[in-house]
Amino acid sequence: MNDKTIDLRSDTVTKPTLAMRQAMAEAEVGDDVLGDDPTVKALERRTAELLGKDAAVFVPSGTMANQLAIRCNTEPGDEMLLDANAHIYWYEAGASAALSGVICRTLLGVRGIFSSADVRAALRPIDVHFPPTRLLSIENTHNRGGGSIWPLEEIQDVCSVARESGIRTHLDGARLWNASVATGIPESEYAKDFDSVSVCFSKGLGAPVGSALVGNTEFVESARRFRKQFGGGMRQAGIIASGALYALVHHRERLADDHENAKRLASGLREIPGIHVSSDTIDTNMVYFDVERRSAMQLTKLLKEMNVLVLSTGKHTIRAVTSLAVDVDDIFRTIDIVRNVSW
């Protein structure tokens, strides 16, 4: 038996390559809280350029980038509009309430994508009873939406409704790189309509640690203050920023391979009786599927015994994510193993 573990739990499981480790070992560093780390500065400059914004701030995680954006764009008691399946709503441990005192109002999107009509419908008159709606957040690609990509026109529409209504806008772009590689639309084009954008280096790009928050100069200055307040000021962070910079330069284009592998996996799974792939289209690197005969927990356990790791995300739903941790052979092996254990 081939005993390599195939890890499809997330694209966060990727490990730094030898060349990336080399770059990290050689990174020039300084005290970043004091503004002295040249590698962090280089990463921030490059990220801001790619996103077409004035500035960027390097942070330890995507969660911190999103939460800083919420803190900077709102005041306690404000309301934020976001999709009911947004990462910020599901997976950030209630941080928007705990750290920013913000109440979430959810919109029911399709695969994470809602419309400008949904935003309009959520708007209320200014009234002493209502929490002021101050922020609109979207996620692109959308994780629980199945790695779905927001159409650019929809983004422009929802952002223009927000702007007309004096609502600020944030993009959770943890996997914006995937959207750009899949559509050929540059990250800067996707980012254009937003006041703030978070991006991650530690997902499909394969860096061990790190995310960034981008926006205009004033916004990023305020994010730096809150980063310190949230405990995210790092010292010789150039070591990890160097891995992120390496990933940005060398691993963006190869995300297309992950997208091909996700399509391969979905089409193999579709052939298996009792397995239903949640969506007809696989936009990027995620495959969600439902299992008929067993609970998702049971199947996850059986697959683990066969060295295939996936995540159960619902009673009968499983998520498999492709990344540089898996190759084509792993995908075909996974399909065979699922076929053998799912019945």
39 contributes a contact to ligand TLP by CB under 6 A: no
The residue sitting closest to ligand TLP, measured at its beta carbon, is 62
Min CB(279)–ligand TLP separation in Å: 16
Tell me which residues in 153-172 interact with ligand TLP (CB under 6 A): 172
CB-nearer residue toward ligand TLP: 242 or 323: 323
Tell me 318's DSSP state: E
Q: CA–CA separation, 93 vs 308, rounded Å?
A: 27
12 contributes a contact to ligand TLP by CB under 6 A: yes
The partner residues of 106 in beta bridges, in order of sequence, read 82
For the range 30-33, what are the long-range contacts, defined as Cβ-Cβ under 8 Å and sequence gap of 24 or more?
Answer: 30/236, 30/238, 31/235, 31/236, 32/58, 32/233, 32/234, 32/235, 32/236, 32/237, 32/238, 33/228, 33/233, 33/234, 33/235
N-to-C CA span, the chain: 21
Angle between helices 62-73 and 217-229 (to 10 degrees): 110
CB-nearer residue toward ligand TLP: 78 or 139: 139
Min CB(170)–ligand TLP separation in Å: 11
343 contributes a contact to ligand TLP by CB under 6 A: no
CB-nearer residue toward ligand TLP: 12 or 180: 12
Binding-residue pattern over the window 48 to 87 for ligand TLP, x denoting contact by CB under 6 A: -------------xxx--x--------------------x
Among 95, 155, 167, 174, binds ligand TLP (CB under 6 A): 174
100 contributes a contact to ligand TLP by CB under 6 A: no
- Listed in sequence order, the DSSP H helices in the chain are 18-25, 38-51, 62-73, 87-90, 95-100, 116-122, 152-164, 176-183, 187-191, 217-229, 238-250, 255-270, 296-305, 328-341
300 contributes a contact to ligand TLP by CB under 6 A: no
User: Could you tell me the CA-to-CA distances from 46 to 58, 97, 111, 287 in Å, in that order?
Assistant: 11, 32, 31, 31
The partner residues of 59 in beta bridges, in order of sequence, read 211
Contact 208, 241 (CB under 8 A): no
Among 95, 158, 200, 248, binds ligand TLP (CB under 6 A): 200
176 contributes a contact to ligand TLP by CB under 6 A: no
The first and second tokens of residue 338, run together, are: 């699922």
CB-nearer residue toward ligand TLP: 44 or 139: 139
CB-nearer residue toward ligand TLP: 203 or 224: 203
196 contributes a contact to ligand TLP by CB under 6 A: no
91 contributes a contact to ligand TLP by CB under 6 A: yes
CB-nearer residue toward ligand TLP: 169 or 272: 169
Contact 23, 245 (CB under 8 A): yes
139 contributes a contact to ligand TLP by CB under 6 A: yes
14 contributes a contact to ligand TLP by CB under 6 A: no
How long a stretch of residues is the chain?
A: 343
164: exposed, middle or buried (Cβ count in 10 Å: 0-12, 13-18, 19+): exposed
100: exposed, middle or buried (Cβ count in 10 Å: 0-12, 13-18, 19+): buried
143 contributes a contact to ligand TLP by CB under 6 A: yes
Binding-residue pattern over the window 210 to 239 for ligand TLP, x denoting contact by CB under 6 A: -x----------------------------
Q: Which residues bind ligand TLP (CB under 6 A)?
A: 10, 12, 61-63, 66, 87, 91, 139, 143, 172, 174, 200, 202, 211
